[in-house]
Amino acid sequence: MINRDDMLELTRRMTPSRNCFSRVAGAYIDEDGFDNGTFNIHFGKLGVADTKQKLDMAKAVIFSNTNENLKDYKFGKDRKKSLWPLLMTLKDNGLKDDAMLATLYEIIGENYRASGEYCIFLFYGSYDVPVKAKDKSWLEGSEEVYDFIICAIAPLEGEYEPGEPEFGFLFPAFTDRSSEVNHIYIYHSDDNRAQTELMNVIIGR
């Protein structure tokens, strides 16, 4: 089960003044599942409006209803059959490998079921997890540095204008305020329109 407080703790580091992201990358996908343009930029180079838009996209995934829209999944026993190796590589290189990103966009394009054009946004962030006492008060020092990727997929409502995210994920999972690389949190805005095919590819079912 996902702890709601853990997700709220992360979202508090996703504001213009307390931003934990260092890079954002993405692709615009046409109706046939092919990319129609990509980008990869340091988050600090975004303008004010772009910064707010991107932060809202990322927060929509992990600020959603925990254990309802955002659920915890474990990768299959043979992780090589899942996207685990690719996601680990992207996390470890901080989304700086465009060839690996292109591979992910292609896999999503082949398995994501959309009724029109959509966009894929990927965020790389680092959170220096502070020490928390048993009474939940903050102490000096840190537990660990949690490096993570958030993916948000949303339909395009205009030319390069994303709507509300309909699918996404947080990898690795943030469990008990710590990284859990064997799990991933997957988001669906509507369980009745779940992206089962893509989800199964991600976790290796």
In Å, what is the CA distance from 63 to each residue of 83, 90, 96, 172, 189?
Answer: 24, 23, 26, 16, 11
Return the pLDDT at 90.
98
Report the pLDDT averaged over residues 101-122: 96
Report the pLDDT averaged over residues 4-27: 95
Return the pLDDT at 162.
95
pTM of the model: 0.93
Residue 121: pLDDT above 70? yes
Q: Which of 67, 29, 62 is nearest to 165 (CA)?
A: 62
pLDDT band at residue 134 under the 50/70/90 scheme: low
CB 40 within 8 A of CB 101: yes
Task: Give 145-174 pLDDT, tens digit per residue.
Answer: 999 999 999 999 988 899 999 999 999 999
Return the pLDDT at 149.
98
In Å, what is the CA distance from 133 to each residue of 9, 72, 141?
Answer: 15, 26, 11
Return the pLDDT at 135.
59
